[in-house]
Amino acid sequence: MNFELEKLVRCNISKLIPYSSARHEFIGEASVYLDANENSFGSPLKENFNRYPDPLQWQLKLELSKIKEVSLENIFIGNGSDEVIDLAYRIFCNPGKDNVIICPPTYGMYEVSANINDVEIKKVILKENFQLDVDGILNATDENTKIIFICSPNNPTANNMSRNDIEKLLTNFAGMVIIDEAYINFSTQKTYIQELTSYENLIVMQSLSKAWGLASLRLGLAFASLQVIELFNKVKPPYNINKASQQFAIEALQNTLQVKEWVKQILEQREFLKRQLLNFSFVKKVYESEANFLLVKVEDAGDLYNYLEANKIIVRNRSREVLCDNCLRITVGTPEENLELIKILNTYD
Ligand SMILES: *Cc1c(COP(=O)(O)O)cnc(C)c1O
């Protein structure tokens, strides 16, 4: 495998001269800022939101680097993982020419974002056991294949992908491999962040939307080589992470113990919910989960979904996904929420 980053990047991006903001050109402390056409009088809020935020979010990255045990320069922060996915397409994939590989059933945004960017999708379905079809993936690649998306733990199947399989792809594919670890905090899988030094073609995605409980702040993370992070920084909107999100996230990241405790409880509740669900005759299978949700095969997913909805409980019907016939995806809730779900299921038949 001969990996050359220069060859993977779109020409217009290689040549791009990025926008240089006021906050980019002057870094340091000054007493009078007259460079960015802000309202120097202030903002009509207690907090001072009148100044543009740090375009590279250094303070937030410092906190993340301590928690994730990775250097600041290897971190990119996006407006949700959605932005990271979109930027990956815009950096590497020529519309109407290049393609990427996804492995359904998996997270829907890889495909939607490809369609928005007019990038061809090649689908290599997971095996019956929800593991990667490594040979199928490698056979599906051609000279225009730029990215392989791997979601581990996978949404909606909830399993970890085999480490051997992932390493085989990282070693044998000369394009980028994106490993989406949105559910890593709930998993026994070791993060791939520490493998960045071994694989130049690796991008690890994480998110503060799940275990960290910050879905509304929209903070998606990418970890990659310096060269790849530089490309993301070049293409992103200058102020993609607003100041409120940066500030709240810095504060939230001090609460590691709270998050650890929640994760512990969610894992306990996951096993409790699984045991309870298996008591119902209409539940055919509850798949092993390494995430904060359960994939549940039932007799009639559409009917059960409607019944739950009528009782004000919303789950996700994944029946239309390949390999997910009659499957509902159920997020692990609080103990009270899970008991309410069980109670309503007891009245179903
Ligand atoms: C929830 C989820 C994300 C997180 O998306 P954000 O845009 O960061 O909220 C990413 N990947 C997968 C597979 C998910 O399920």
Over the stretch 300-330, which tens digit does the pLDDT of each residue have? 999 999 999 999 999 999 999 999 999 999 9
Q: Is the CB of residue 151 below 6 angstroms from any atom belonging to ligand 1?
A: yes
- CA dihedral sign of residues 90, 95, 101, 102: positive
Q: Are residues 249 and 274 in the same domain?
A: no
The average pLDDT across 75-94 equals 98
CA angle 197, 2, 231 (to 5 degrees): 55
Distance, CA 106 to ligand 1 centroid (Å)? 11
**Among the ranges given (43-52, 116-125, 130-139, 248-257), the one the predictor scored with the smallest mean pLDDT:** 43-52
Distance, CA 183 to ligand 1 centroid (Å)? 8
Predicted local distance difference test score (pLDDT) of residue 51: 95
Q: Are residues 289 and 238 in the same domain?
A: no
Contact of 294 with 332, CB cutoff 8 Å:
yes
Predicted local distance difference test score (pLDDT) of residue 204: 98
Q: Is the CB of residue 82 below 6 angstroms from any atom belonging to ligand 1?
A: yes
Q: Are residues 236 and 274 in the same domain?
A: no
The average pLDDT across 105-120 equals 98
- Domain coverage including residue 288: 257-345
In the numeric block, which tokens belong to residue 107? 């997270």
Q: Are residues 47 and 88 in the same domain?
A: yes
List beta partners, residue 293: 331
Across the chain, mean pLDDT equals 97
Q: Are residues 14 and 110 in the same domain?
A: yes
- CA dihedral sign of residues 183, 126, 297, 275: negative
Examine residue 95 and say whether the peptide bond preceding it is cis (omega within 30 degrees of 0). Answer: no
> pLDDT grade, residue 205 (50/70/90)?
very high
Identify which of 77, 81, 85 to mutate to test ligand 1's pocket (most ligand atoms within 8 A of the CB): 81
The ligand 1 atom nearest the CA atom of 78: 8
| Angstrom distance (rounded) from CA 68 to CA 65 | 5
- CA dihedral sign of residues 228, 25, 208, 308: negative
Predicted local distance difference test score (pLDDT) of residue 2: 87
Predicted confidence (pLDDT) per residue in 155-191, tens digit: 999 999 999 999 999 999 999 999 999 999 999 999 9
Contact of 296 with 286, CB cutoff 8 Å:
yes
Distance, CA 108 to ligand 1 centroid (Å)? 10
Predicted confidence (pLDDT) per residue in 214-257, tens digit: 999 999 999 999 999 999 999 999 999 999 999 999 999 999 99
Helices and strands (H, E) in the chain, number of each type: 13, 11
Q: Are residues 19 and 160 in the same domain?
A: yes
Identify which of 109, 293, 331, 332 to mutate to test ligand 1's pocket (most ligand atoms within 8 A of the CB): 109
- Dihedral of CA atoms 109, 110, 115, 121 in degrees, nearest 10, equals -150
Which residue puts its alpha carbon closest to atom 14 of ligand 1?
182
Q: Is the CB of residue 314 below 6 angstroms from any atom belonging to ligand 1?
A: no
Predicted local distance difference test score (pLDDT) of residue 349: 79
Q: Is the CB of residue 156 below 6 angstroms from any atom belonging to ligand 1?
A: no
Residue after which a domain boundary falls, among 224, 254, 284:
254
In the numeric block, which tokens belong to residue 11? 């020409």
Q: Is the CB of residue 209 below 6 angstroms from any atom belonging to ligand 1?
A: yes
Q: In CATH, what number is assigned to the domain containing residue 323? A: 3.90.1150.10
pTM of whole model > 0.85? Answer: yes
